[in-house]
């Protein structure tokens, strides 16, 4: 109920450019077994090429300009180059999320670039062989992804990195992980505090207080070396002083390097979406917030009440309301975040 009220109080930002990039779902096929994966049990399934191409057509009809190919591991799809060619011929700029396995092959990543791939968002969840390989469930995971990142950099592909923060890695975020990022030199690093979505092992979720303490120290080290730093889906009260890095459901609308959630499931009528994109985006964000997050009575006293998602429904971590005038502008802390 409180999240319904807080969502109604959001002021629409009509000045900041919103995201024109969407997820292109290529199916759950994957050769790794990350313990937090939402698709466990389906990782051997391959999605038909015709289905994927229809998804491309839908995104183009919605006016999407960029796509993130996402599985599973999209590069494993038997029609990988056909998918790239179709997207390229539709005028789309192409990125993909990857565990790096296929892209550690110089010939494969070079050919992928020739077929239109411009950017890779690598999933780097550990800081050395043991930590990363234990998380992703593959004994060559770390070596493969590091090799792939160096290939991508050499070829001039844009390199971004996602790190899902878990009990396996959070204590090393501000030391070993930072040193690895300084070596790899990505354009962007996203910290994802692990959530309860899908089929995951909740016992490995780290309390907000523990994980944000390490993330903030990591930001202090990386902010002068990595162009963009984001902390996904984390309560603002745990990020006081670091608010500009928080990217929750409404800030996500304006995250130019992530997914346009309004077209995520292919359920919106492209004509309606084109008619009023911003309304569709805000409606989608409101639905996501109300479905996945909650606010406590303490939240009502907080200056972040309107712009913060709150905490996930299953989370019992304490909330620390911050006194002050309530903020309603969704990008109050992120004005100009991508202007440079």
Is the pLDDT score of 202 beyond 70? no
**Percent residues over pLDDT 90 in the chain:** 84
Residue predicted with more confidence, 89 or 202: 89
CATH fold for the domain made of 19-226: TIM Barrel (3.20.20)
Structure confidence at residue 38 (pLDDT): 82
pLDDT tens-digit series, residues 262-304: 898 777 899 888 888 999 999 999 999 999 999 999 999 999 9
Average pLDDT of the segment spanning 24-35 = 95
Is the pLDDT score of 199 beyond 60? no
Number of H helices, E strands in the chain: 11, 10
Average pLDDT of the segment spanning 7-22 = 94
The β-bridge relationship of strands 293-294 and 311-312 is: antiparallel
**Mean pLDDT across the chain:** 94
pLDDT tens-digit series, residues 248-259: 999 999 999 999
Give the Cβ contact number of residue 8 at 10 Å: 9
Burial (Cβ within 10 Å: 0-12, 13-18, ≥19) of residue 52: buried
In angstroms, rounded to a whole number, what is the distance separating the alpha carbons of residues 312 and 60?
33
In angstroms, rounded to a whole number, what is the distance separating the alpha carbons of residues 101 and 256?
26
At residue 16 the predicted structure's pLDDT band, cuts being 50, 70 and 90, is very high
* Close Cβ partners of 166 (under 8 Å, ≥ 6 residues apart): 36, 125, 135, 194, 204, 205, 206
Average pLDDT of the segment spanning 23-27 = 96
In angstroms, rounded to a whole number, what is the distance separating the alpha carbons of residues 9 and 289?
13
* Close Cβ partners of 328 (under 8 Å, ≥ 6 residues apart): 9, 10, 11, 306, 307
At residue 339 the predicted structure's pLDDT band, cuts being 50, 70 and 90, is confident
Average pLDDT of the segment spanning 159-176 = 94
In angstroms, rounded to a whole number, what is the distance separating the alpha carbons of residues 242 and 222?
13
- Residues 144 and 123 sit within 8 Å (Cβ to Cβ): no
* Nearest alpha-carbon partner for 208 in 123, 97, 290, 293: 293
* Nearest alpha-carbon partner for 67 in 240, 263, 299: 263
Structure confidence at residue 261 (pLDDT): 87
pTM over 0.85: yes
The torsion angles phi and psi of 192, rounded to 5 degrees, stand at -110, 110
Structure tokens at 165: 């923060």
Residue predicted with more confidence, 102 or 4: 102
In angstroms, rounded to a whole number, what is the distance separating the alpha carbons of residues 78 and 118?
20
Average pLDDT of the segment spanning 9-26 = 95
């Amino acid at each position: 109920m409180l999240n319904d009220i807080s969502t109604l109080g959001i002021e629409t930002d009509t000045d900041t450019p919103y995201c024109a990039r969407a997820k292109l779902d290529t199916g759950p096929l994957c050769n790794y077994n990350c313990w937090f994966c939402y698709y466990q049990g389906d990782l051997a399934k391959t999605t038909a090429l015709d289905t994927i191409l229809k998804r491309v057509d839908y995104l183009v009809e919605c006016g999407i300009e960029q796509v993130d190919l996402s599985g599973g591991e999209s590069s494993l799809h038997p029609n990988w180059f056909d998918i790239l060619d179709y997207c390229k011929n539709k005028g789309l700029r192409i990125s993909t999320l990857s565990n790096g396995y296929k892209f550690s092959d110089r010939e494969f990543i070079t050919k992928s670039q020739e077929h239109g791939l411009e950017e890779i968002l690598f999933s780097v969840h550990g800081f050395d062989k043991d930590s990363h390989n234990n998380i992703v469930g593959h004994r060559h995971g770390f070596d493969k992804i590091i090799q792939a990142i160096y290939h991508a950099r050499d070829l001039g592909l844009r390199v971004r990195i996602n790190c899902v923060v878990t009990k396996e890695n959070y204590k090393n975020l501000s030391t070993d992980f930072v040193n690895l990022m300084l070596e790899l030199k990505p354009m962007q690093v996203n910290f994802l505090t692990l959530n309860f979505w899908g089929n995951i092992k909740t016992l490995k979720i780290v309390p907000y207080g523990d994980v944000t303490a390490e993330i903030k120290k990591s930001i202090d080290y990386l902010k002068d070396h990595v162009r963009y730093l984001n902390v996904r889906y984390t309560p603002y009260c745990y990020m006081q002083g670091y608010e500009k890095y928080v990217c929750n459901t409404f800030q996500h609308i304006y995250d130019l390097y992530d997914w346009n959630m309004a077209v995520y499931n292919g359920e919106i009528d492209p004509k309606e979406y084109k008619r009023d994109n911003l309304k569709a985006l805000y409606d989608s964000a409101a639905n996501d917030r109300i479905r996945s997050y909650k606010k406590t009575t303490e939240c009502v006293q907080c200056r972040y009440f309107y712009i913060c998602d709150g905490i996930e429904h299953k989370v019992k971590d304490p909330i620390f309301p911050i006194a002050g005038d309530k903020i309603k502008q969704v990008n109050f802390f992120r004005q100009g975040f991508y202007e440079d």
